[in-house]
């Protein structure tokens, strides 16, 4: 709040030319621009006048700039009724568009010197000085071509105001045609798209990869360090793919998203899928279970006598193991893509693929990581998967001094090695899942548990179709509850061409489920663990009232939990 007060004082203290008569020979105009957010930022726009033409120059940010940043200049020729916008990138490539200045799609109301309009429910006010024969407007796209803009406000908030108008004999006129002679002409929308696309950093992880039963397994000797970069390896009968990736190291202001495109390549059923990451800082790592056998991972033996491989963190003098960190839990629909043509006369316009997009900013770490994707199936055609990680900047500065969150993977019962023998997460029928965690340093800015939970058991009365409360206990005391349940599954009917259809008009894909729908990604929930971020060991327990088995069919739960710790220094 103190910073906000200081910035406001600066804004108020700057001189305004709202009542001052403008010099007719002025050729340099400076505008203060105000941007409102968590704090108030100010910057300046300079307008250079040459007769009845102007050049609008926005100040470039200082310091090292983010990849893809474009410096931009706008030229307005009032006599020719034209606007020319030029964007130049650091690699020297340049694009421009040119269009007319006049607009007929805005209705103006004039009250004295104020020109008012409404666009997209926003009330805009332009205060224009038309007392001199000078035309200067740093916002030419609205079509106001007469007079000098003194101030601009939106919904009562001042966004732009003139703070200086002067004559500068050092200014030399800029030749617009010279500026654009090596530029590529595009449309305004194309330039906007190019600028945004160049700002986004895209890491292609998987490209049209097939996850199916029967592909030859990869066998890499020598451990995880020997996996070549950017090579996709197939494991667990071909249902799991793994890739060693060098993710770009980026400032903390970037937001990161996983984008998945999935379609059936022959499998007709809804399947559990998972995208996960392995950081090579453990001994053993989950890769040992992938490359060898799930039994090479730490084993939990349940009261039911069954072995559960690699499901929770282990920290002792001999072993430091963390299960894989789950980025996205997703579910394939019933046969989208492969079966669309067969069901084309069903009366539904089937979508060509499933598209999932989920933010993973709190889990992103630049550097070498091992990213895997799994879709459980025993079909020879299986599924096709494409995956990108897209990183979007929220600032123009490229400062790598940010401290990334510390991640501790606590548990993960999503059995991505199912087809290699990893057990289902059905221990909750007789046990709770308990692990021990210690926040390494006291007093983090935040400590939270990222939790994903979905229930399975696909018969009437199985946990897939029965809401079950998940209880999280800390040091034996219940502190959080969560009941994963989706009631919007019917919204995704057009992704499920071969879903079972019933006499009453409903489809199997319409039914509500325990935290998922065919064709969706399950959203994580967060629990605040700050009270236990005291440097001492604590136990965390997940308890779920799993249903009983019925005639050889069993329910099970896929739960994953990652501790996310943020520090200032």
- Tell me how crowded residue 170 is: count the other CB atoms within 10 A of its CB: 5
pLDDT of residue 178: 87
Contact 123, 154 (CB under 8 A): yes
- The order of strands in the sheet holding 525-528 is 406-412, 556-566, 446-456, 525-528
**Angle, alpha carbons 114-115-121 (nearest 5°):** 120
DSSP summary character for residue 344? G
pLDDT of residue 58: 83
Residue the block writes with tokens 């316009």: 349
Q: Indicate if 426 and 289 belong to the same structural domain.
A: yes
Contact 48, 74 (CB under 8 A): no
Tens digits of per-residue pLDDT, 279-292?
A: 888 888 999 899 88
Tens digits of per-residue pLDDT, 181-204?
A: 999 999 999 999 999 999 999 999
Domain that holds residue 165: 2-195
Q: What percent of the chain has pLDDT over 70?
A: 95
Q: How many structural domains is the chain composed of?
A: 2
What is d(CA 396, CA 195) in angstroms, rounded to the nearest whole number? Answer: 13
Indicate which CATH number applies to the domain containing 37: 2.50.20
pLDDT of residue 225: 55
Which two structure tokens, joined as six digits, stand for 280?
């090579």
Which two structure tokens, joined as six digits, stand for 499?
């879903």
Domain boundary among 152, 174, 195: 195
Q: Indicate if 168 and 212 belong to the same structural domain.
A: no
pLDDT of residue 377: 97
pLDDT averaged over 10-residue windows placed end to end, the chain, 569 residues:
34 46 85 83 91 90 93 94 95 95 92 95 95 92 94 93 92 85 96 97 98 80 64 94 95 97 98 95 88 93 96 90 97 97 92 98 94 97 98 94 92 97 97 94 89 96 97 98 98 97 93 98 97 94 97 96 91
Q: Indicate if 302 and 154 belong to the same structural domain.
A: no
Which two structure tokens, joined as six digits, stand for 334?
């019933």
pLDDT of residue 2: 36
Q: Indicate if 348 and 428 belong to the same structural domain.
A: yes
Domain boundary among 179, 195, 211: 195
Q: Please give the sequence-ordered ranges of beta strands (E in DSSP) within 134-286, or none if there are none.
A: 148-154, 157-166, 184-185, 201-211, 232-235, 240-247, 255-264, 272-278
Indicate which CATH number applies to the domain containing 243: 2.60.120.230
Q: Indicate if 383 and 241 belong to the same structural domain.
A: yes
Q: Indicate if 180 and 241 belong to the same structural domain.
A: no
Q: Indicate if 91 and 145 belong to the same structural domain.
A: yes
Domain boundary among 195, 221, 237: 195
What is d(CA 182, CA 179) in angstroms, rounded to the nearest whole number? Answer: 7
What is d(CA 287, CA 275) in angstroms, rounded to the nearest whole number? Answer: 14
pLDDT of residue 4: 36
Find how far residue 521's CA is from the centre of its chain.
13
What is d(CA 544, CA 555) in angstroms, rounded to the nearest whole number? Answer: 11
pLDDT of residue 226: 66
pLDDT of residue 568: 82
Which two structure tokens, joined as six digits, stand for 38?
């968590």
Residue the block writes with tokens 């889990």: 363
Which two structure tokens, joined as six digits, stand for 453?
């939970």
What is d(CA 38, CA 386) in angstroms, rounded to the nearest whole number? Answer: 36
Q: Indicate if 216 and 191 belong to the same structural domain.
A: no
Q: Indicate if 337 and 299 belong to the same structural domain.
A: yes
Q: Indicate if 128 and 262 belong to the same structural domain.
A: no
**Angle, alpha carbons 232-238-244 (nearest 5°):** 20
Q: Indicate if 206 and 132 belong to the same structural domain.
A: no
Q: Indicate if 272 and 164 belong to the same structural domain.
A: no
What is d(CA 532, CA 536) in angstroms, rounded to the nearest whole number? Answer: 8
């Amino acid at each position: 709040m103190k910073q906000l007060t200081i910035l406001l004082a600066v804004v108020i203290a700057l001189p305004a030319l709202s009542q001052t008569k403008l010099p007719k020979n002025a050729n340099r105009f400076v505008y203060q621009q105000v941007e409102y957010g968590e704090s108030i930022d100010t910057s300046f726009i300079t307008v250079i006048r040459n007769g009845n033409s102007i050049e609008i120059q926005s100040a470039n940010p200082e310091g090292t700039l983010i990849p893809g940043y474009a410096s931009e200049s706008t030229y307005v020729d009032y006599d020719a009724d034209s606007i020319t916008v030029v964007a130049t990138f650091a690699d020297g490539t340049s694009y421009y568009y040119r269009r007319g200045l006049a607009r007929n799609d805005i209705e103006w109301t004039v009250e004295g010197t104020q020109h008012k309009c409404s666009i997209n429910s926003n009330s805009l006010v332009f205060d224009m000085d038309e007392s001199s024969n000078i035309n200067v407007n740093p916002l030419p796209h609205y079509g106001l071509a007469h007079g000098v803009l003194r101030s601009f406000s939106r919904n009562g908030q001042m966004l732009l105001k003139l703070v200086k108008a002067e004559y500068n004999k050092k200014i030399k006129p800029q030749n617009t045609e010279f500026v654009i002679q090596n530029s590529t002409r595009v449309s305004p929308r194309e330039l906007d798209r190019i600028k945004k696309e160049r700002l986004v950093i895209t890491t292609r992880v998987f490209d049209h990869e097939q996850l199916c039963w029967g592909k030859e397994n990869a066998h890499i000797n020598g451990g995880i360090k020997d996996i070549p970069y950017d090579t996709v390896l197939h494991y667990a009968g071909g249902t799991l793919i793994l890739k060693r990736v060098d993710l770009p190291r980026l400032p903390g202001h970037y937001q990161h998203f996983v984008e998945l495109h999935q379609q059936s390549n022959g499998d007709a059923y809804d399947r559990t899928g998972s995208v996960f990451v392995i950081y090579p800082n453990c001994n053993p790592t989950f890769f040992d279970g992938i490359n060898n056998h799930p039994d090479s991972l730490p084993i939990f033996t349940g009261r039911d006598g069954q072995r559960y491989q690699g499901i929770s963190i282990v920290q002792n003098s001999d072993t430091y193991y963390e299960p894989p960190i789950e980025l996205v839990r997703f579910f394939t629909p019933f046969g989208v893509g492969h079966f669309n043509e067969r069901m084309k006369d069903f009366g539904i316009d089937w979508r060509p693929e499933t598209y999932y997009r989920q933010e993973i900013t709190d889990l992103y770490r630049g550097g070498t990581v091992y990213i895997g994707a799994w879709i459980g199936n025993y079909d020879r055609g299986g599924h096709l998967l494409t995956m990108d990680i897209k990183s979007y900047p929220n600032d123009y500065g490229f400062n790598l001094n940010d401290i990334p969150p510390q991640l501790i993977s606590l548990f993960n019962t999503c059995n991505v090695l199912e087809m290699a023998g990893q057990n289902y997460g059905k221990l909750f029928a007789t046990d709770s899942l308990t692990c021990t965690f210690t926040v390494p340093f006291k007093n983090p800015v935040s400590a939270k548990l990222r939790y994903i939970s979905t229930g399975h058991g696909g018969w009437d009365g199985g946990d897939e179709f029965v809401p079950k409360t998940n209880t999280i206990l800390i040091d034996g005391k219940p502190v959080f509850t969560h009941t994963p349940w989706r009631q919007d599954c019917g919204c995704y009917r057009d992704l499920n061409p071969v879903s079972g259809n019933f006499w009453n008009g409903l489809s199997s894909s319409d039914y509500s489920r325990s935290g998922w729908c065919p064709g969706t990604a399950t959203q994580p929930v967060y629990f605040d663990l700050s009270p236990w971020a005291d440097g001492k060991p604590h136990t965390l327990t997940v308890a779920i009232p799993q249903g009983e088995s019925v005639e050889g069919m069993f329910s099970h739960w896929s739960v994953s939990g990652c501790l996310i710790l943020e520090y200032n220094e």
